[in-house]
Amino acid sequence: MKLAILFGGSSFEHEISIVSAITMQKVFKKTELVNIFVDSNREFYLIDKKDMKSKYFSSADYKKSKKLRLEHGGFITPGMFGDKKIDFDALINLIHGRDGEDGKIASMMEFYGVPYISPRLEACALSYNKLFTKLFAQSIGIKTVPYEVLHKNQPRDINTSLPVIVKPSRLGSSIGVSIVKDASELDYALDVAFEFDDLILIEPFMSGIKEYNQAGCFTDKWELSIIEEPHKEEFLDFEKKYMDFSRDGKVGEADINLEIREKIQESFKKIYGNVFKGSIIRCDFFESDGEIYLNEINPIPGSMANYLFEDFEDMIIRLTKNLYFEQNIKIDYQYIHSIQSAKGKA
C-alpha cells in the first residue's frame, strides 16, 4: 500500500497542515507515503521523506523539490525523457481550511480521477461553513447550539445575551474566534472575526458544558473512535490547537455513561450518513442535561484524529479499499442526433 499525503494549501491553516503531515510520517508504520506539498501559490511539489521537517517549508527550501503537475489519473513529474506519473493507491487530503476543507481539492481529485480519502465536494461545502452545518444538522434532526448570523455590512445589533462566542462562519482551528463577556469587548471581537469572513455566527457561551469528540468513518462497516473529552480551557486558541495537530500518542476515553455514549455514536452516524463517505471526520459535541448538541464537524481533523483510534493505519487501508466514486455518465449524443434528424441535418 502506498498513500499520498497532500498538505499545505492557500489556507490560514497552511502551517497546521504541515504539522499534520509531519505527524503522519510517524503514524504510518507499514505504509509507504508519498508527500505532496501545495505551496501558498498553489504549486505542487514532491517532498522527500527526509525533508519532511517544518523548517524545510518555512525556509522556502521546498522550492528545490520536484514540481508536479495534476493531470488525468494523477500527478506528473515533467522530465527531459518524458513525463512520469507518481504512483500511489490513494491520496489523503490533509489540507486544513481553505482549498482542502472547502471542496476544491475534492473537486480536483474527482475531476482528474484520483482516488482520494477526503470528504467529497458536497460534504465539504456543508461542513466548511458553520451556518450550513447548522442547517444540515437541523434537517436530519440533530440539535445544534442556538445561533444568530451577522453579515459584514449589517448593523451590529445582536440579540443573544452575553457572554457570547463570536465565530467566522468558514474557518476552523479557532482562528478569529472570541468569547465576549462584556459589551465593551463586542466591537473588537466582531472586527477580528470579520477580518476572516464576511459572515459570522454568534452563539451563547455556555460555561460548565461538557465537550466530547467522536471521530470515525465507514469502510465496509462503521469504525468509530473512542470518545475523547478534550482538555477544557475556556477554549483552545490557535497556538494550543496548533500543538494539538502534532498529536500521535493515544488518549484516554472520556468517562461517560452508556446512554450518552450511545447518543454521541448515533448522532455521529446520522451526520456521517452517505454524505461523508470516503472520509474520516471528527464531530465535536456538547452535552448538557443529557442532551447532545453538534458543535462542529471537522471534515479533515488535525493529524486525522489518529490518536483516537486503536488501529488507525489498518482502518485507513480498509477505507482505501472502500472509497466512493462518482457515478459514471455515458454520453451517447442521442438528443443531438434526434434534434439533427428533426432538422433534417442528420
Residue 182 vs 333, nearer CB to a second copy: 333
Interface pattern 158-197 for a second copy (x via CB under 8 A): ----------------------------------------
Q: What amino acid is encoded at 269 in this protein?
A: K
Contacts of 203 (CB under 8 A, 6+ apart): 145, 146, 147, 160, 164, 165, 167
Residue numbers 320-339 binding a second copy by CB under 8 A? 326, 329-331, 333-339
- Verify binding: residue 99, a second copy, rule CB under 8 A: yes
From candidates 30, 41, 81, 249, binder to a second copy by CB under 8 A:
41
From candidates 111, 188, 222, 325, binder to a second copy by CB under 8 A:
111
- Verify binding: residue 43, a second copy, rule CB under 8 A: yes
Cα–Cα distance, 36 to 46 (Å, whole number) = 5
From candidates 1, 15, 86, 244, binder to a second copy by CB under 8 A:
15
Cα–Cα distance, 313 to 134 (Å, whole number) = 32
> C-beta of 275: minimal distance to a second copy in Å?
9
- In sequence order, what are the beta bridge partners of 151? 199
Report the run of H or E that residue 298 belongs to, with start and end. strand 291-298
Instruction: Name the CA radius of gyration of the chain, rounded.
Output: 22
Cα–Cα distance, 283 to 213 (Å, whole number) = 6
Q: Are 169 and 117 in contact (CB under 8 A)?
A: no
Helix axes 121-128, 104-111, angle to 10 degrees: 180
> C-beta of 68: minimal distance to a second copy in Å?
12
From candidates 182, 233, 239, 289, binder to a second copy by CB under 8 A:
239
Report the run of H or E that residue 190 belongs to, with start and end. helix 183-196
Residues at the site binding a second copy, with contacts judged by CB under 8 A:
10-12, 14-16, 18-19, 40-43, 54-55, 57-58, 69, 71-72, 98-99, 102-104, 106-108, 110-113, 121-122, 124-126, 128-129, 131-132, 135-136, 138-139, 151, 198-199, 238-239, 242-243, 274, 326, 329-331, 333-340, 345
